[in-house]
């Protein structure tokens, strides 16, 4: 079965007839592909059964697709899994991980048969869902459905950006494609709609999504919860849509040959498969989705498929095929290397820029250049950050920015560089539209090209839309920078729907996410150094309202923000109070301290822009700030107090938000919620 649903605006419109004219696969190749497919089924059944946990349905249903892609089609070199111009493959339906592990093992990646046998076991490189930081050949961590589609769109866009920057008429060093396998769940998750819409708008002709349309979800038949016309939806996005029998090798070959030769826009291949294909009693039902088949069903399935009953059986013919294929894969990379070497000789300046991006090289004078940047205060944190961004843009070719339709508010625009647009990928500013979740998944994909450090912006309260993508970025240490603005109730009249109160705590709760809330232009500049140096994601939390500069924060990165917390006002005697503040509340803390000193009190003030950096300091340094009797401890931050008592103790006072905000001018809200010098003195004296 082969049908084509081509986007109405496509100049090239493949037809069912044109595909039928393609000759069928070479019989010998088809025979070995069938053997590989059944080997994938056997390994997956056995691994899930041995673990007594997992999802055998997708691996069995998509076995022909795996055999064809990893056994024939993908341009990869398993012995150099980080080859820059390799085709990328993402399993968005990450629950089917044994499909991917089987394919990677057979293809020659660093996954042994013993690793397959230890599926889902502690410290095994074959965990329950694919993890990019654990397993050779896995391009991104997946599991929460739909996000792999976003990562794929981000990677595809990233390679279009790199091709526009580095390819020449004479040499094309970036011409790879990005493939993603998604299931019914991925199609239903809203994030896939966000990114698919943008991919169609940008006409990403290096992106191929394969939809495992097995019509079964975990709870039962898809028809019980979904009856949409997915073909029409993707055509409306501007994609070319192909529909095939996903278990028919001839149909698979015909479509993918067509795509390799003629792709002009994103392609969706709807592959109708039978979930759990080969299992005589459970195939085609939800019972094979997320549970082991059981010994009797496996025995019957192997008999039906003609697979020996031996556990983890791999035919010698399959082993020989992949061993013979490995030198061909290496030759593919060698040909590219020859092209690259010729390109490097012809383009020494481009080579220098490529190496800067590939290794994320930061200038030796980064800090001094930022310190020399004149920013007139008082100024909003978001505007100070934009000034820093526009300086950094000239220094760091790896920096690409974007916003979810808020660039004039979150101040993310690189003013010297154009917008990315359909067919125009020379720019460095990406308009993601009102698609916060999709934007965050795509940013992770941009980073995964290995050459781009993306930053993306929106209001802090909308980080909730992005949260699961931020979490996955943190899980795999993706170097993404989030510019979150409008950071407190002091944004004013937009009211509680836009005023974050729980968001500092919510973001700080994510392991490996570096959260920084700078107090003025000095700390904003140093926060960017922290974000660029950290090998993981950073959330920059920035104000909408103007903030004064404090002379006390004008210190080196190593003595200030780089410490996470540092003293900005030293007590003159034994402290009566220690005030700890972040962001816009630091200047308030300094004013409170001045008033206390006029009352004869000794006061220490600590700026604490980044808890994460502080926790990495030595015990001696931590004690120099918080050790011993330092008087009554008071935290001042316009958010919930969750987490602050670690630093202020049970008896400390948290000047915080205990409820949602309100719609009113910032000054009125400060008085209403106790963020004035007078109110704080009343609380602590």
Alpha-carbon distance 609 to 530, whole Å? 11
Cα separation, 149 vs 19, in Å, equals 27
Whether cis (ω within 30° of 0) applies to the bond prior to 109 is: no
Is 265 annotated as belonging to a binding site? no
The stretches of 293-405 forming alpha helices (DSSP H) are 295-305, 316-346, 348-358, 366-372, 381-395
Annotated binding residue at 359? Answer: no
Q: Report CA Rg, the chain.
A: 28
Residue 105 in marked binding region = no
Task: Tell me how far apart the alpha carbons of residues 292 and 54 are, in angstroms, rounded to a whole number.
Answer: 6
Q: Is 600 annotated as a binding residue?
A: no
Query: Is 382 labelled as part of a ligand binding site?
Result: yes
Please compute, for residue 240, the number of CA atoms within 13 A of its CA located in the half-sphere on the CB side.
27
Pairing between β-strand 653-655 and β-strand 632-636 as defined by DSSP bridges? parallel
- How far, in Å, CA of 211 to CA of 346, rounded? 42
Q: Is 240 helix (H, G, I), strand (E, B) or coil?
A: strand
Tokens matching residue 10: 């496509």
Q: Is position 123 annotated in a ligand binding site?
A: no
- Is 602 annotated among the ligand-binding residues? no
**Both tokens assigned to 252:** 């698979």
Q: Is 118 annotated as a binding residue?
A: no
Q: Is 489 labelled a binding residue?
A: no
- Please write down the long-range contacts of 367-374, taking CB distance under 8 Å and 24 or more positions apart: 367/526, 367/529, 367/556, 367/557, 369/395, 370/525, 370/526, 370/528, 370/529, 371/525, 373/525
Q: Does the annotation flag 289 for ligand binding? A: yes
Is 260 flagged in the annotation as binding?
no
In our burial notation (b when 16+ CB lie closer than 10 A, e otherwise), range 97-120 reads: bbbbbbbbbbbbbebeeebbbbbb
- Give, as one character, the DSSP assignment of residue 396: -
Question: Is residue 379 annotated as involved in ligand binding?
Answer: no
Return the H-helix or E-strand segment holding 485.
strand 481-485
Residue 145, annotated ligand binder?
Answer: yes
Q: 494 among the known binding-site residues?
A: yes
3-state class (DSSP) for residue 579: strand
Whose structure tokens read 């979740």? 437
Please indicate if the annotation marks 124 as binding a ligand: no
The token duo for 618 is: 């030595």
- Of residues 134, 135, 133, 148, the one with CA closest to residue 58: 148
Burial string for 230-244 (b: 16+ CB within 10 Å, else e) reads bbebbbebbbbbbbb
| Residue positions annotated with a catalytic role | 436
Contact 107, 81 (CB under 8 A): no
Task: Check the annotation: does 462 bind a ligand.
Answer: yes
Please say whether the dihedral angle defined by the alpha carbons of residues 26, 31, 37 and 39, taken in this order, is positive or negative: negative
184 annotated ligand-binding residue: yes
Binding residues for Mg(2+): 184, 214, 216
Binding residues: 55, 95, 143-145, 184-185, 214, 216, 289, 382, 409, 462, 486, 494, 498, 544
């Amino acid at each position: 079965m082969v049908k084509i649903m081509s986007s109405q605006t496509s100049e090239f419109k493949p037809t069912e007839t044109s595909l039928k004219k393609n000759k069928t696969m070479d019989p010998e190749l088809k025979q070995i592909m069938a053997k590989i497919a059944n080997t994938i089924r056997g390994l997956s059944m056995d691994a899930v059964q041995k673990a007594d946990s997992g999802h055998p349905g997708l691996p069995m249903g998509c076995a022909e697709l795996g055999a064809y892609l990893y056994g024939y089609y993908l341009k990869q070199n398993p012995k150099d899994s980080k080859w820059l111009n390799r085709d990328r493959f993402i399993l968005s339906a990450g629950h089917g991980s044994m499909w991917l592990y089987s394919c990677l093992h057979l293809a020659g990646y660093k996954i042994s048969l013993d690793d397959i046998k230890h599926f889902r076991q502690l410290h095994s490189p074959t965990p329950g869902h694919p993890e990019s930081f654990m397993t050779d050949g896995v391009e991104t961590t997946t599991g929460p459905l739909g996000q792999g589609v976003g990562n794929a769109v981000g990677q595809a866009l990233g390679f279009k950006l790199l091709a526009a920057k580095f390819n020449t008429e004479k040499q094309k060093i970036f011409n790879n494609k990005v493939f993603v396998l998604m299931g019914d769940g991925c199609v239903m998750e809203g994030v896939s709609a966000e990114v698919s819409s943008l991919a169609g708008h940008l006409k990403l002709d290096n992106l191929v999504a394969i939809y495992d349309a097995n019509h079964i979800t975990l709870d039962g038949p898809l028809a019980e919860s979904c009856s949409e016309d997915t073909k029409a939806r993707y055509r409306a996005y501007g994609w070319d849509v192909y529909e095939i029998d996903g278990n028919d090798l001839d149909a698979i070959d015909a479509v993918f040959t067509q795509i390799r030769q003629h792709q002009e826009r994103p392609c969706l291949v709807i592959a109708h498969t039978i979930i759990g294909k080969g299992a005589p009693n459970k195939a085609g039902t939800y019972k094979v989705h997320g549970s082991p088949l059981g010994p009797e069903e496996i025995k019957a399935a192997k008999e039906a498929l003609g697979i020996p009953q031996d556990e983890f059986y791999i035919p010698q013919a399959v082993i020989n095929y992949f061993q013979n294929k490995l030198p061909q894969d290496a030759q593919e990379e060698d040909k590219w290397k020859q092209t690259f070497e010729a390109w490097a000789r012809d383009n020494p300046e481009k080579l220098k820029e490529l190496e800067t991006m590939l290794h994320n090289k930061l200038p030796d004078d980064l800090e001094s250049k930022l310190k020399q940047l004149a920013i007139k205060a008082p100024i909003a944190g978001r505007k100070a950050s934009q000034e820093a961004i526009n300086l950094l843009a000239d220094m760091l070719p790896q920096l690409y920015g974007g916003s979810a339709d808020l660039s004039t508010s979150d101040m993310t625009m690189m003013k010297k560089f154009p917008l990315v647009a359909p067919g125009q990928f020379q720019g460095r500013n990406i308009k993601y539209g009102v698609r916060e979740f999709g934007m965050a998944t795509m940013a992770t994909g941009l980073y995964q090209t290995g050459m781009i450090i993306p930053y993306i912006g929106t209001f802090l309260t909308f980080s909730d839309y992005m949260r699961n993508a931020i979490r996955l970025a943190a899980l795999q240490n993706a170097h993404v920078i989030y510019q979150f603005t409008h950071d407190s109730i002091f944004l004013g009249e937009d009211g509680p729907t836009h005023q974050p109160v729980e968001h500092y705590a919510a973001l700080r709760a994510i392991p490996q996410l570096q959260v920084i809330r700078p107090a003025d232009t000095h700390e904003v500049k140093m926060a960017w150094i922290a974000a660029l140096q950290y090998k993981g994601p950073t959330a920059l939390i920035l104000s909408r309202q103007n903030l004064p500069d404090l002379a006390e924060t004008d210190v080196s990165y190593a003595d200030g923000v780089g410490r996470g917390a540092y003293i900005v006002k030293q007590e003159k005697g034994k402290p009566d109070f220690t005030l700890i503040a972040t962001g816009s509340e630091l200047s308030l803390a300094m004013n409170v301290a001045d008033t206390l000193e006029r009352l004869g009190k000794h006061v220490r003030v600590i700026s604490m822009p980044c808890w994460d950096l502080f926790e990495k300091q030595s015990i001696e340094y931590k004690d120099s700030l918080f050790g011993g009797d330092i008087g009554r401890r008071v935290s001042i931050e316009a958010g919930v107090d969750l987490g602050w008592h670690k630093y202020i103790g049970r008896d400390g006072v948290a000047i915080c938000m205990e409820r949602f905000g309100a719609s009113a001018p910032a000054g009125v809200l400060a008085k209403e919620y106790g963020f004035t010098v007078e109110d704080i003195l009343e609380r602590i004296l």
